[in-house]
Chains A and B, each alone.
Chain A
Amino acid sequence: MTFEYSSAPESKAIVTIDPVYKLYIGGKFVAPKSGKTFTTINPATEEVLAKIGYAEKADVDKAVKAAQAALKIWSKMAPAERGKYLYRIARIMQERAREFAVLETMDNGKPIRETRDVDVPLAAAHFFYHAGWADKLDYAGVGTNPKPYGVVGQIIPWNFPLLMLAWKIAPALATGNTVVLKPAETTPLTAMLFAQVCEQAELPAGVVNIVTGDGATGAAIVNHPDISKIAFTGSTDVGKLIARSVAGTGKGLTLELGGKGANIVFEDAPIDETVEGIVNGIFFNQGHVCCAGSRLLVQENIQDELLEKLKRRMELIRLGDPLDKNTDIGAINSREQLNKITELSNSGDTEGAERFSASCAIPSKGFWFPPTIFTGVTQAHRIATEEIFGPVLSVISFRTPQEAIEKANNTPYGLSAGIWTDKGSRILWTAKHLRAGVVWANTFNKFDPASPFGGYKESGWGREGGRHGLSAYLKGAK
Chain B
Amino acid sequence: MALTDGSLTSIKGFLRTLSPVDQVGADARAAMLATRSIKTASKRWAIDMAISMIDLTTLEGADTEGKVKAICNKAIRPDPSDATVPHVGAICVYNDMVSIARTHLDASGGHDIPVAAVSTAFPSGRASLEVKERDTKDAIANGATEIDMVIDRGAFLSGDLEKVFSEIVYIKSICEGKAHLKVILETGELVTYDNVRKASFLAMAAGADFIKTSTGKISPAATAPVVLVMLEAVRDYYQMTGQRIGVKPAGGIRTTKDAIKQLVLVKETAGDEWLNPELFRIGASALLNDLLMQRKKLTSGHYEGPNYVTLD
Task: Give the B-binding residues of A (Cβ under 8 A).
Answer: 1-8, 113, 117, 268-274, 276-277, 316, 325-326, 422, 442-443
Contact = CB atoms under 8 A, between A and B. Distances in A.
A7 B29 CA distance: 22
Q: Max chain B CB contacts within 10 Å: which of A268, A272, A325, A326?
A: A272
A4 B264 CA distance: 10
A3 B267 contact: yes
A5 B29 contact: no
Contacts of B45: 1, 3-4
Contact of A276 (B29, B35, B46, B49): B29
25 contacts: A2-B272, A3-B42, A3-B45, A3-B46, A3-B263, A3-B267, A4-B42, A6-B38, A6-B43, A8-B39, A270-B20, A270-B21, A271-B19, A272-B26, A272-B232, A273-B21, A273-B24, A274-B25, A276-B28, A277-B25, A316-B268, A325-B35, A326-B37, A442-B25, A443-B24
B19 A6 contact: no
B275 interface: yes
Contacts of B267: 3
Nearest to B35: A113
Q: 6 nearest interchain CB pairs? A: A273-B25, A8-B37, A270-B22, A271-B19, A325-B37, A273-B22
Interface in B1-57: 19-22, 24-26, 28-29, 35-43, 45-46, 49
A371 to B, nearest CB: 15
A442 B21 contact: no
A443 B25 contact: yes
Contacts of A326: 36-37
A117 B45 CA distance: 27
Interface of B: 19-22, 24-26, 28-29, 35-43, 45-46, 49, 232, 263, 267-268, 272, 275
Contacts of A443: 24-25, 28
Contact of B25 (A1, A2, A5, A276): A276
A2 B267 CA distance: 9
Contacts of B232: 272
A136 to B, nearest CB: 31
Nearest to B40: A6
Nearest to B267: A3
Helix, strand, loop or mixed for chain B's interface?
A: helix
A272 B25 CA distance: 9
B282 to A, nearest CB: 15
A434 B118 CA distance: 54
Contacts of A113: 35
B19 A270 contact: yes
A52 to B, nearest CB: 32
Given A3-B49, A3-B275, A269 B263 contact: no
B39 A6 contact: yes
Nearest to B29: A276
Given A3-B46, A273-B29, A276-B28, A117 B20 contact: no
B272 A3 contact: yes
Nearest to A272: B232
Given A269-B19, A277-B25, A2 B275 contact: yes
Q: Max chain B CB contacts within 10 Å: which of A113, A270, A422?
A: A270
Contact of B42 (A6, A268, A269): A6
A4 to B, nearest CB: 6
Contact of A273 (B26, B35, B43, B46): B26
Nearest to A5: B42
A271 B233 CA distance: 12
A269 B20 CA distance: 7
Given A5-B38, A316-B268, A325-B37, A272 B275 contact: no
Contacts of B263: 3
B272 A117 contact: no
Contacts of A273: 21-22, 24-26, 29
Contacts of B272: 2-3
A113 B35 CA distance: 8
Contacts of B268: 316
Q: Max chain A CB contacts within 10 Å: which of B37, B42, B45?
A: B37
B133 to A, nearest CB: 37
B216 to A, nearest CB: 26
B102 to A, nearest CB: 31
Nearest to B273: A2
Nearest to A269: B19
Contacts of B42: 3-6
A78 B267 CA distance: 56
A270 B25 contact: yes
Given A6-B39, A273-B26, A277-B25, 6 more contacts: A3-B275, A5-B36, A270-B21, A273-B29, A274-B25, A316-B268
A394 B222 CA distance: 38
Contacts of A8: 37-39
Contacts of B35: 113, 117, 325
A270 B22 CA distance: 6
Nearest to A4: B42
